[in-house]
Chains A and B, each alone.
Chain A
Amino acid sequence: MNAESAIDLPAPVTRARTGTPLPAGIGTRDPAWARRLLIGLALAFIGLMLVLPLVAVFVEALHDGVGKYLSSIANPDAWSAIRLTLIVAAIAVPLNLVFGLCAAWSIAKFEFRGKSLLITFIDLPFSVSPVISGLIYVLLYGAHGWFGPFLAEHGIKIIFTVTGLVLATIFVTFPFIARELIPLMQEQGTEEEEAAISLGAGGLQTFFRVTLPNVAWGLLYGVLLCNARAMGEFGAVSVVSGHIRGQTNTMPLHVEILYNEYDFVGAFAVASLLALLALVTLVGKSILEWRIGRRLARGGH
């Protein structure tokens, strides 16, 4: 069975071996000066609009030396903002993980009426301005909102509390995980699950041994994006927070307050933490994309 044991060599390897150069794209080649100009423009734009601000954050944060930088971060209010941001993300991300999995599962594996409507609704937070998302919650749960009197009667406070922050964050970050999983699960279909059950696996065994591992990298990718947004969210959170220092201030809100108080080093010190988070997310995202891409290339289906 020689046909069976043959392993396809990827084309680039073959090419490298035979040493044949890639044929030039005839007719699609731009003159050298145009290429240089375009690449130069793109690089200049990225440098000016993306890299320079990022550098500025760290330069400003360290403007008065490392000591001042560290003491700005160690400030109790800053600490409380960092803690709060982590708590909000720690609640919102797992909840969205569960919601996202449920939504993706039901959309990918079942046929039901109103499916396309559900998909549209999942995208809603992407298309609504975050400030509006925050206002919706104030309108619903605020003192003068629809459920305001009911909540007040039962002594439940949502707006200007951590609960409100969590709700607003969940709303804004809802699509990230579901959006990542839906196409992945749709492409994989239900055959592997059917196979698992025909081999005697139960529902949970099938989920944890077959479904989850198959979407693991995509899921991680979605969690990463969701987490970055949850920690960095400003608009929606700003509306429901009430900006109570040490209590309902997340990192982005704290940055704004410090900046408005002309505490530039403090503002940029906290901002540098957010920037670091962004860089870590970027690296993680690249690694995951590389892994997913490699799996896809290897899988070929």
Chain B
Amino acid sequence: MSLEAKNISKTFNSFQALKDVSLTVQRGEFMALLGPSGSGKTTLLRIMAGLDTQDSGEIRFDEEDVSGRSLRDRKVGFVFQHYALFRHMNVSENVAFGLKVRPHETRPSPPEIKRRVDELLHLVQLEHMGQRFPSQLSGGQRQRVALARALAIEPSVLLLDEPFGALDAKVRKELRRWLRRLHDEMQLTSVFVTHDQEEALELADRVAVMSQGKIEQVGTPDDVYHRPETAFVYEFMGNVNRFDCRIQDGHARVGPLVVAAPEFPSARDLPGLAYVRPHDITLRAADEPGLPAVIRHVFTAGPGIRVELQRRDTKTAIEADLPHDASRQLLLTPGTEVSLTFSGARVFAAG
């Protein structure tokens, strides 16, 4: 089922959580709502589910307006951030809940319910946990019970609020891949909320980056990471260095360096900001042309080397990520004078 939010606005007391937000999720798509806390991503998800009501705008399932339909009638699978498992029921009873509360005519028979529950527990790899209570499970297991419970009602849409937020890093990675496989196998349409860029990029078909109640950009992980449309997205998608610059005729000047700014072909001395990712910075010997800087700290960061530098002219800090063999060509010790060049940069107008 496709899912569409159309011109959604929502205000809590005096706080405007969503400002005229529109978003379309295609059938079978795995969409991430990515943003910092307070960006409105959870509010949008809850409005899609019917847990909250929008002030204006429409929610459409397969072109049909469901704004007037209650949470109960929308039949979405919703996975809560803290799982919200029924604590007095064991795992099997939790999963069976959605089937047991159906009206008499549509309720499956007890043996049928049991069969379905076993099937779902098998799907989430918790076959032998049926008799356990939620409090006896680990975080990852609770998460999977919550998922099985949501899938029991055969929802057309699966909505997940920070599904991995409360898990430790290792479990999180495993569950992530597993969830993606599940989504593909069951041909679900899924939307999940996260504040973790890596999670969004790894898991989603498309990512909607949100900030202050608005969607900044919607696109594939590749789009939002490599072709950010706004300064916010650029900053939010990873570490970045900012340089004040002047834009002139499609070029921006950062100290002695000139970077391309094709978005501003006819700008005349426009104040701007050049964004450069740490891995787009190259270090050269001090006598070569480039932006003069001094090495302050050098440390190992995973597979590469992270170097903290200071600009000679403005004294601002700069971060550079280098491959691990970079130290062979250059002496990387604090105090060394170097020259910087950029292999990629993106220029936005300032302010």
Contacts and interface: CB of A to CB of B under 8 A. Distances in A.
Interface string B47-64: 001110000000000000
A200 B77 CA distance: 10
A13 to B, nearest CB: 16
A202 B49 CA distance: 16
Nearest to A203: B72
Contact of B82 (A191, A199, A200, A214): A191
A297 to B, nearest CB: 9
A6 to B, nearest CB: 7
A95 interface: no
B86 interface: yes
B80 A191 contact: yes
Contact of B98 (A5, A7, A194, A200): A200
Interface stretch (B133-141, B243-251, B330-338): B133-141
Q: How large is the interface on A (under 10, 10 to 19, 20 to 34, 35 or more residues)?
A: 20 to 34
Nearest to B49: A198
Interface in B71-123: 71-72, 75-78, 80, 82, 84-88, 97-98, 101-102
3 nearest CB pairs, A to B: A199-B98, A191-B84, A195-B84
Contacts of A21: none
Contacts of A30: none
A277 interface: no
A200 B75 contact: yes
A298 B51 contact: no
10 contacts: A3-B168, A3-B170, A5-B138, A191-B80, A191-B84, A192-B84, A195-B80, A196-B97, A202-B101, A205-B101
Interface in A281-301: 298-301
B171 interface: yes
Interface in A172-205: 191-192, 194-202, 205
Interface of A: 1, 3-7, 191-192, 194-202, 205, 209-210, 213-214, 216, 298-301
Contacts of A214: 86-88
B136 A201 contact: no
Contacts of B84: 191-192, 194-195
B80 to A, nearest CB: 5
A1 B102 contact: no
Contacts of B75: 200
A197 B135 contact: no
Given A3-B171, A194-B51, A298 B133 contact: yes
B258 interface: no
Nearest to A301: B135
Contacts of B51: 194, 198
B100 to A, nearest CB: 8
Interface string B141-182: 100000001101100000000000000101100100000000
A151 B174 CA distance: 73
A235 B304 CA distance: 80
A184 to B, nearest CB: 12
Given A192-B84, A194-B80, A194-B84, A199 B97 contact: yes
Contact of A4 (B133, B140, B149): B140
A216 B88 CA distance: 10
A299 B76 contact: no
A195 to B, nearest CB: 4
B116 to A, nearest CB: 13
A202 B103 CA distance: 10
A201 B170 contact: no
A210 B86 contact: yes
Contacts of A201: 72, 97, 101
Nearest to B80: A191
Nearest to A5: B138
Nearest to B126: A4
Q: Which of A195, A213, A301 has the most CB of B within 10 A?
A: A195
Q: Which of B80, B84, B174 has the most CB of A within 10 A?
A: B84
B108 to A, nearest CB: 13
A299 B135 CA distance: 5
A207 B41 CA distance: 29
A300 B135 contact: yes
Contacts of A191: 80, 82, 84
Contacts of B174: 1
Given A198-B51, A205-B101, A216-B88, 17 more contacts: A3-B138, A191-B84, A192-B87, A194-B51, A194-B80, A195-B78, A195-B84, A196-B97, A197-B72, A198-B49, A202-B72, A209-B86, A209-B97, A210-B86, A213-B88, A299-B135, A300-B135
